[in-house]
Amino acid sequence: MRKAFVTGFPIKHSRSPLIHGHWLKKYDLPGSYEAIEVAPDSFPAFLNSLKDNDYVGGNVTIPHKEMAFALCQRREPAAEEIGAVNTLWFEGGQLCGGNTDAYGFLANLDASSPGWDKHKTALVLGAGGASRAIIYALKQRGLTDIRIVNRTLTRAEELADRFGSGISAHEWIAVPELLQDVSLIVNTTSLGMEGKESLSIDLSDVRRDALVTDIVYVPLETPLLKAAHMAGLKTGDGLGMLLHQAVPGFEHWFGVRPEVTAELRNVILADMNG
Ligand code: ATR
């Protein structure tokens, strides 16, 4: 039986056990996937004990993603570029680290809004760890004009420098002007998350064919997505990205590439509503 895990601190809110548990059952595989809370001080020892405890790999979430990056023995290009690891597995006895956030973001938009990348201009709100994965994803996909807006301009400038040509950094005050000709708007800030301040942006001047996405998924309909719906714009929600980012890990650990279905989405929605 193959054993996998998700670790974070805290970890009780993670929906990953539900996702992987659903797939293990669906594909009738003899495996397990459990949530393990590990304090930052204990994380290196936890990684060292994986083999002895027969784990084939697992997911890593806040606050361990950077430490997992530093401590794994091999890293995939996406993890290298993003500077964080969210998926671990063993290959030839070595602990390998990947980052599936960029994949999950792109796969979700490809599934829910095919052709979304026809135009090459995007506005990204936020310049933290999550934004890094999104900028990397958009560059990978060939977008040529990526505008980062952040409360703290220096963080946006650092990201723009890090990822090079085609990326610009701006202050929040420039948003009304910046969003007029973009075909994609992505919120990577914590604004709009349950219990946090709302995100209020006037979308009336946005292109009619623009796609508006949020990586926040609690609540599912964030203030930004609500505004987009009211403006008649296409949207992509954060839950889709969460489901798709889980696919590569499951395949590494259990050998089956799982499908993201409406049924799985409903399992998570029922849990969120229950
Ligand atoms: P993550 O790794 O999840 O991206 P983070 O690194 O803490 O988390 O980044 C959070 C993002 O939300 C940042 O872009 C942050 O802006 P700053 O860089 O200026 O801190 C943004 N953010 C958080 N609270 C905000 C607020 N009240 N107003 C505007 N932006 C906010």
Query: Which letter, b or e, does each residue of 174-202 get, where b requires 16 or more Cβ atoms within 10 Å of its Cβ?
Result: ebeebbeebbbbbbbbebbbeeeeebebe
Verify that 118 and 236 share a domain, yes or no: yes
Q: For residues 29 and 21, give the distance between their C-alpha atoms in angstroms, rounded to a whole number.
A: 10
Verify that 178 and 116 share a domain, yes or no: yes
Verify that 78 and 57 share a domain, yes or no: yes
**Does 26 qualify as catalytic in the annotation?**
no
Angle, helices 262-273 vs 238-245, to 10°: value is 120
Q: Which helix (H) or strand (E) holds 213?
A: strand 211-214
Cα–chain center distance at 117:
18
Verify that 107 and 122 share a domain, yes or no: yes
Q: Ligand 1: which residue has its CA nearest to atom 9? A: 128
Q: Choosing from 3, 65, 120, 139, which is the catalytic residue?
A: 65
Verify that 193 and 92 share a domain, yes or no: no
Verify that 252 and 206 share a domain, yes or no: no
Q: For residues 165 and 150, give the distance between their C-alpha atoms in angstroms, rounded to a whole number.
A: 18
Backbone torsions φ then ψ of 229, nearest 5 degrees: -60, -45
Task: Quote the mean pLDDT of the chain.
Answer: 96
Verify that 265 and 209 share a domain, yes or no: no
Verify that 8 and 41 share a domain, yes or no: yes
Reported as a single tens digit per residue, the pLDDT across 9-43 is: 999 999 999 999 999 999 999 999 999 999 999 99
Reported as a single tens digit per residue, the pLDDT across 75-106 is: 999 999 999 999 999 999 999 999 999 999 99
- Answer yes or no: are the C-beta atoms of 60 and 68 closer than 8 Å: yes
Verify that 253 and 221 share a domain, yes or no: no
Tokens matching residue 46: 């936890």
Q: Ligand 1: which residue has its CA nearest to atom 7? A: 128
> Mutate which of 105, 149, 189, 222 to test ligand 1's pocket (most atoms within 8 Å of Cβ)?
189
> Mutate which of 190, 214, 217, 245 to test ligand 1's pocket (most atoms within 8 Å of Cβ)?
190
- Answer yes or no: are the C-beta atoms of 115 and 91 closer than 8 Å: no
Residues with a CB atom less than 6 Å from ligand 1: 126-131, 150-152, 155, 188-191, 197
- Residue 274, pLDDT above cutoff 90: no
Which residue, chain included where needed, has tokens 């084939």?
56
Q: For the domain that residue 49 is a member of, what is the CATH number?
A: 3.40.50.10860
| DSSP per residue, 35-87 | EEE--GGGHHHHHHTTTTTTEEEEEE-TTSHHHHHHH-SEE-HHHHHHT---E
Which residue, chain included where needed, has tokens 């004009």?
145
- Residue 236, pLDDT above cutoff 90: yes
| Domain total of the chain | 2
Q: What is the pTM of this model?
A: 0.96
Question: What per-residue confidence (pLDDT) applies to 170?
Answer: 98
Which residue, chain included where needed, has tokens 């929600």?
237
Verify that 30 and 121 share a domain, yes or no: no
Coil, strand, or helix at residue 205?
coil
Verify that 131 and 193 share a domain, yes or no: yes
Looking at ligand 1, which atom is closest to the CA of residue 132?
A: 4
CA of residue 225 to ligand 1 center, whole Å: 18
Q: For the domain that residue 234 is a member of, what is the CATH number?
A: 3.40.50.720
- Answer yes or no: are the C-beta atoms of 122 and 184 closer than 8 Å: yes
Verify that 10 and 78 share a domain, yes or no: yes
- On whether ipTM exceeds 0.90, the answer is yes
Was 215 annotated as part of a binding site?
yes
The domain in which residue 209 lies consists of: 102-240
